[in-house]
Amino acid sequence: MIHLDALLHERRMTLTELAGAVDLTLANLSILKTGKARAIRFSTLEAICVALDCQPGDLIRHVADDGETTDAE
């Protein structure tokens, strides 16, 4: 599960602003935001985390088949 929308809201940043900050197209970020992305490059993940001042785990969570979120805390 991708939490990009929530992080953007917390940071009061638009998807367009993030796209400019990480040099990605709005379309590609939109695909990631909606959870339709099949993969993400580590360089892209790092750029997003730098722009949003977060860790990868803040952005991506694993959801088990039963719908439960699994965290390694």
pLDDT in tens, 24-53: 999 999 999 998 999 999 999 999 999 999
CA dihedral 68→39→26→44, nearest 10 degrees, is 100
42 within 8 A of 8, measured Cβ to Cβ: no
Strand partners, 63: 69
CATH class of 4-70: mainly alpha
**Predicted pLDDT at 65:** 80
| Between 62 and 50, the higher pLDDT residue | 50
